[in-house]
């Protein structure tokens, strides 16, 4: 090849942070740390000829540039092509559109099925696909079965459950529930006296010793904070991925952004979720991207970080209510 041109793979996207950068491989779902100098090098030299690139640097810097190129090629973040091939490799357009009004609903369970039934009847027409059912106190298997039956014949794709361990509930009972309700993706039993993962075809029954005493402590211990894929990355450019298209309904019927927050925007007994999610004060957090959140906006993880901290507006920026403990 006469003139070699440096071409960055479009699905490998560098993100600059304060002290270092990442390069996020959205197809292989991995990332690498790179120095900020390498970020700048990629930013300014993508799709230029090797000859032109090298002509910009002095002899000392050329050694570093050669090391950069060797690393980037070995990691398959770049390749070389001819000039007339460049237009065959356009950048990915960072755009995010979805056809539903709500994607995820978190419902706190109780023995009062009327609230849960009302919530389910309201969220299904809004296009919800993922449900999380959770409780800080024990829920009888028969009640759980009744709740899960509300989703039969619905368009819900996945249901995740969090409940505390009870001596009176056996693994076999949960396995029977999983076999009956095929939408269950995971049943997480917390505060158990042991840890065990039971895999059943496409579902999981996970026992964990983790104590959960408040809604702010709910998190899947096996879930990753960093999610590296095209959908997450593009959504994070426009939305706070944790809050976006999500509604939470407490056991009393309060409609919230998140069950651990005090603020309620209405109650399922008297308000319609479809009206509440149109209100700017409810959707405010949906738009609180990491890009406009202090501490996060210069973080190299800001487009792959699934962080659930509450954020509040301080007049110029959003601020996280808790200090970040995700950074590697």
Minimum CB distance to ligand SF4, residue 308 (Å): 9
Does residue 307 bind ligand SF4 (CB under 6 A)?
A: yes
In terms of CB distance, is 120 or 296 closer to ligand SF4? 296
Question: What are the residues whose beta carbons fall under 8 Å from the beta carbon of 98, sequence distance 6 or more?
Answer: 245
Given a contact cutoff of 8 angstroms between Cβ atoms, the answer to whether 77 and 9 are in contact is: yes
Question: Across-strand partners of 207?
Answer: 189, 196
Question: Across-strand partners of 160?
Answer: 132, 186
Selection from 167, 321, 170, 305 nearest residue 242 by Cα: 305
In terms of CB distance, is 263 or 327 closer to ligand SF4? 327
Contact residue for ligand SF4 among 301, 310, 311, 318 (CB under 6 A): 301
Q: Which stretch binds ligand SF4 (CB under 6 A): 108-116, 240-248, 268-276, 302-310?
A: 302-310
Q: In the sheet that 30-34 helps form, which strands lie side by side, from edge to edge?
A: 12-16, 21-25, 30-34
Does residue 134 bind ligand SF4 (CB under 6 A)?
A: no
Contact residue for ligand SF4 among 124, 150, 273, 299 (CB under 6 A): 299
Given a contact cutoff of 8 angstroms between Cβ atoms, the answer to whether 159 and 148 are in contact is: yes
DSSP string, 78-132: EEEE-GGGGGGSPPPP-----S-S--EEEEE--S-HHHHHHHHHHHGGGT--EEE
Minimum CB distance to ligand SF4, residue 72 (Å): 24
In terms of CB distance, is 22 or 46 closer to ligand SF4? 22
Minimum CB distance to ligand SF4, residue 39 (Å): 16
In terms of CB distance, is 38 or 305 closer to ligand SF4? 305
In terms of CB distance, is 20 or 272 closer to ligand SF4? 20
Minimum CB distance to ligand SF4, residue 228 (Å): 13
Selection from 133, 129, 142, 138 nearest residue 165 by Cα: 138
Question: What are the residues whose beta carbons fall under 8 Å from the beta carbon of 172, sequence distance 6 or more?
Answer: none
Question: Across-strand partners of 32?
Answer: 23
Q: Binding string, 233-272, against ligand SF4, x = CB under 6 A?
A: ----------------------------------------
Minimum CB distance to ligand SF4, residue 105 (Å): 24
Minimum CB distance to ligand SF4, residue 292 (Å): 12
Q: Which stretch binds ligand SF4 (CB under 6 A): 42-50, 86-94, 167-175, 289-297?
A: 289-297
Does residue 326 bind ligand SF4 (CB under 6 A)?
A: yes
Minimum CB distance to ligand SF4, residue 310 (Å): 12
Selection from 193, 203, 132 nearest residue 164 by Cα: 193
Does residue 324 bind ligand SF4 (CB under 6 A)?
A: yes
Does residue 296 bind ligand SF4 (CB under 6 A)?
A: yes
DSSP string, 249-281: E-TT-BEES-TTSS----BTTT--HHHHTTSHH
Contact residue for ligand SF4 among 302, 310, 311, 318 (CB under 6 A): 302
Minimum CB distance to ligand SF4, residue 309 (Å): 7
Minimum CB distance to ligand SF4, residue 274 (Å): 31
Tell me how far apart the alpha carbons of residues 2 and 14 are, in angstroms, rounded to a whole number: 28
Given a contact cutoff of 8 angstroms between Cβ atoms, the answer to whether 15 and 31 are in contact is: no
Tell me how far apart the alpha carbons of residues 300 and 36 are, in angstroms, rounded to a whole number: 10
| Residues at the contact surface with ligand SF4, assessed by CB under 6 A | 290, 295-296, 299, 301-302, 305, 307, 324, 326-327
């Amino acid at each position: 090849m006469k003139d070699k041109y440096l071409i960055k793979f479009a699905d490998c996207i560098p993100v600059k942070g304060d002290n270092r950068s990442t390069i996020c491989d959205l197809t292989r779902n991995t990332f690498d740390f790179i120095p900020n100098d390498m970020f700048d090098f990629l930013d300014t030299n993508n799709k230029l000829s090797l000859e032109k690139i090298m002509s910009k640097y002095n002899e000392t810097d050329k050694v570093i540039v050669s090391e950069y190129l060797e690393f980037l090629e070995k990691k398959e973040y770049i390749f070389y092509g001819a000039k007339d091939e460049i237009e065959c490799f356009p950048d990915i357009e960072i755009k995010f559109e979805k056809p539903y009004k709500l994607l995820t609903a978190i419902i706190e369970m109780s023995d009062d099925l009327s609230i849960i039934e009302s919530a389910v009847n309201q969220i299904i027409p809004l296009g919800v696909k993922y449900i999380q059912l959770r409780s800080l106190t024990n829920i009888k298997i028969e009640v759980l079965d009744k709740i899960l039956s509300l989703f039969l014949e619905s368009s819900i794709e996945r249901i995740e459950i969090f409940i505390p361990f009870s001596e009176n509930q056996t693994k076999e009972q949960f396995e029977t529930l999983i076999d009956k309700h095929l939408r269950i993706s995971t049943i997480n039993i917390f505060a158990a006296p042991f840890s065990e993962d039971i895999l059943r075809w496409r579902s999981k029954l996970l026992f964990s010793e983790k104590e959960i005493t408040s809604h702010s402590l709910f998190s899947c211990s096996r879930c990753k904070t960093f999610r590296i894929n095209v959908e997450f990355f593009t959504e994070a450019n426009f939305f706070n991925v944790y809050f976006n298209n999500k509604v939470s309904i407490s056991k009393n019927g309060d409609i919230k952004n998140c069950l651990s927050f005090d603020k309620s925007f209405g109650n399922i007994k008297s308000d319609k979720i479809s009206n509440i999610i149109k209100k700017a004060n409810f959707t405010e957090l949906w738009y609180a991207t990491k890009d406009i959140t202090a501490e996060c906006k210069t973080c190299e993880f800001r487009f792959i970080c699934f962080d659930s901290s509450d954020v509040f507006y301080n007049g110029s920026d959003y601020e996280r209510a808790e200090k970040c403990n995700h950074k590697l």
